[in-house]
Amino acid sequence: MRELFDIMPPENPIEAAQRDARPALRRRFYEGTTAVPISAGYAVRLDDKPIRTPARRALAAPTLALAEAIAAEWQAQQDVIDPAKMPLTRLANAIIDGVADAPQPVAAEIAKYLASDLLLYRAGAPPGLVERQAQHWDPILDWARQALGADFKLGEGVVHVAQPEAALAAARAAIPLEPWRLGAVHAMTTLTGSALIALAMARGALSADAAWQAAHVDEDWNMAQWGRDEMAAARQEFRFAEFQAAATVLACCP
């Protein structure tokens, strides 16, 4: 499978491991998919043959539910194998090849978002947008304050607001270090621009739909005012599939 999900030598562990597949698509060559127990969890197999990640490691998950979800993604492929339609497999490859051996740098990347998190910078106008940001974002900040002990400060516009070190430290402590959950939280953070949204998802305080809505308050507002941008909508749909893959990992790896 290396030719399908190939990667460059890792500079950034997650980003390097999540590079898109080459344009040429390979025809489907297998009949069925299975998830079988191995010493490290459950391996995904095609006609009882192992799948390898781009770094030549076994494509395997820590739980049966997650391995079956990955196998279902392979089973859903039709005439060709299209990695662009396999966000869960891409994320699994990224975690196996890019997170498992280097969790601390990945956690550090998530922590960087906390100092300038999306939820902390509010619009001053128009009133409708101000209200919508508060509706979707304030409950997450309330959760961070109550559940994590992290009391963040709000700013308006793009002027940087220095956050209390105690708040940053409390939120950093909530970043999971188990590779699969860490990889999922990292994916959610980069997709939403908010580590707080990702942490709330990881702790079960937000549904996937609520988290995605919170991450796109500004974008959805602009579409409502100026009309739907088809290219932007297509990008958002693709990214939502990636977000759902990360949500699946969290749900299957409690």
Task: With cut-offs at 50, 70 and 90, classify the pLDDT of residue 222.
Answer: confident
Residue among 239, 211, 213, 254 at smallest CA distance from 91: 239
pLDDT reading at 20 higher than 70: no
More confident: 225 or 5:
225
Q: Would you call 12 helix, strand, or coil by DSSP? A: coil
3 state DSSP class of 52: strand
CATH architecture of 13-99: 2-Layer Sandwich (3.30)
Q: What is the pLDDT of residue 11?
A: 47
Cα 6 to Cα 29: distance, rounded to the nearest angstrom: 18
Mean pLDDT of the chain, nearest integer: 90
Round to whole Å and give the CA distance between 92 and 180.
8
d(CA 70, CA 65): 9
**pLDDT tens readout for residues 22-66:** 457 888 988 999 999 999 899 999 998 999 999 999 999 999 999
What confidence score (pLDDT) does residue 221 get? 87
DSSP strand pairing (49-50 vs 41-46): antiparallel
| Residue 7 predicted with pLDDT over 50 | no
Phi and psi angles of residue 46, each rounded to the nearest 5 degrees, phi first = -110, 115
Q: pTM for the complete prediction? A: 0.88
Q: Tell me the torsion sign for CA atoms 166, 100, 239, 199.
A: negative
Q: What is the pLDDT of residues 172-203, one digit of tens each?
A: 999 999 999 999 999 999 999 999 999 999 99
Helical spans, DSSP H, in 173-229: 179-192, 195-202, 208-215, 217-226
Label residue 17 by pLDDT band (50, 70, 90): low
CA-CA distance, 254 to 248, in Å (whole number)? 10
pLDDT at 116 over 50: yes
SS3 category, 154? coil
Greater model confidence, 12 or 207? 207
pLDDT band at 232, cuts 50/70/90? confident
State the DSSP H helix or E strand holding residue 28, giving kind and residue range, or none if neither.
none
Structural domain boundaries in the chain = 13-99, 103-252
* CATH architecture, domain 103-252: Orthogonal Bundle (1.10)
